[in-house]
Amino acid sequence: MSVTEMFNYIQGFLSADQDVREDIRKVVQTLEQTAREILTVLQSVHQPSGFKEIPSKCAKARELFCTVRTQICNLKTKFPAEQYYRFHEHWRFVLQRLVFLAAFVVYLENETLVIREEVAKILGIEVVREKGFHLDVEDYLAGVLIMASELSRLAVNSVTAGDYTRPLRISNFINELDSGFRLLNLKNDPLRKRYDGLKYDVKKIEEVVYDLSIRGLAKEGETVGDK
């Protein structure tokens, strides 16, 4: 093969690669749009009247996840399954956002932490790497940490809405989450930076609970909750 032929071959390879990446980007853009729509639906729970609408908002979000599953199915067709990590950078951010949204929906529904397998089911993807398009552990953890920030905001807005028991429950949940992350030896720099943010979320929620406590509202909230 001559030098010219070799470089023509390389150019053909690069052009094919760029075509694949462009097809992936187009599908990822649709995923990002759907993620924004789900976030818009869920943001209303932060409004004073939003807590009463949590069941309906979660149901609407789950309907939109049907669109997500369709879009991910389309994404799977754009590249060979064994080259997942070659193109992972294109959908990593939106996938983490979708994990956050799925985790937030599950928390709003039953105040528990969604497991990785359930998130994968909601998104219509695999857990096991060998099966193709899957939910990477680090993407799952990143999404959970984004949810923690959203819960710290929810704790503040709960007080504004007159719900004094919710911040206490959020505080217990976030503290358990923090304890869980402390068991991990995080070597992924972006993930570790996100985890550092969890410490501020814990502190912010503790301040909310402390403020309720010194105002006597925490005990009042517990009494109302018991009733």
Which residue in 48, 147, 156, 141 sits closest to 100, CA to CA?
Answer: 147
Ligand-binding annotation for 150, yes or no, is yes
Residues 6+ away with beta carbon under 8 Å from 127? 116, 117, 120, 134, 135
CA distances to 9, 15, 18, 32, 201 from 25, rounded to whole Å, are: 25, 15, 10, 10, 33
Q: Which two tokens stand for residue 142?
A: 């990143």
User: Residue 21 contacts by C-beta under 8 Å, 6 or more apart in sequence?
Assistant: 87, 90
- Sign of the dihedral through C-alpha 140, 141, 143, 148: positive
The SS3 assignment for 134 reads: strand
Asked if residue 160 lies in contact with residue 47, where contact means CB atoms within 8 angstroms, the answer is no
How crowded is residue 225: how many other Cβ atoms within 10 Å of its Cβ? 13
Binding-site annotation: residue ranges = 150
Would you list which residues are annotated within the binding site for Mg(2+)?
A: 150
